[in-house]
Amino acid sequence: MTGSLYYDRKGEPLDVHHWADLFGDDGYRTIAQHWARGWMISTIWLGLDHGFGHGHMPLIFETMIFPPGDAASKDGAWAEEYQERYSTEEAAHAGHDRAIAWLAEGSVMTWRRISPARSCPAAATATGMAACRAS
């Protein structure tokens, strides 16, 4: 761990000004976007370590699912609470594929509201993520 909070897509430390330039570039920031059943699955490079220096590797990529319009799951939780964070671009692509599969399985209907402080391992499967967050 270098003590930096900002990293490029290869995991190399950046100063805040270079990070801001890269973050403003949609082509650099976007890893993948897909739509399934009207829902958007989005995976992006954040560049800012969302582990805030407390982990072995910086968490600089994120996958989220956004509902069509103002749709909510059966229990009222918003699906954009589906969120996974990753340390590498390779893990981010794999996580994006898991999110697509999770949504295709219809798992949106079993989602539970999570606490913003609840954290689950980025390497967990979609099923494992749902179980982890529901606990």
pLDDT digits (tens, 9 = 90+) for 67-83: 876 555 555 555 456 88
Report in angstroms the alpha-carbon separations of 113 from 9, 16, 92, 109, 135.
30, 33, 23, 12, 10
Domain-located, residue 81 = yes
Domain, as residue range, for 130: 16-134
Enter the pTM of the model: 0.71
Mind listing the pLDDT tens digit for each residue in 29-62?
Answer: 999 999 887 888 999 999 999 877 676 789 999 9
Neighbours of 49 (CB within 10 A): 23
- How many domains is the chain partitioned into structurally? 1
Token pair, residue 43, equals 């995976």
Cα gap 38→20, rounded to integer Å: 31
Domain-located, residue 40 = yes
Token pair, residue 98, equals 């898991």
Q: How many Cα atoms are found within 13 Å in the side-chain-facing hemisphere of 94?
A: 11
Domain-located, residue 60 = yes
Q: How far is CA 135 from the centre of its chain?
A: 19
Domain-located, residue 8 = no
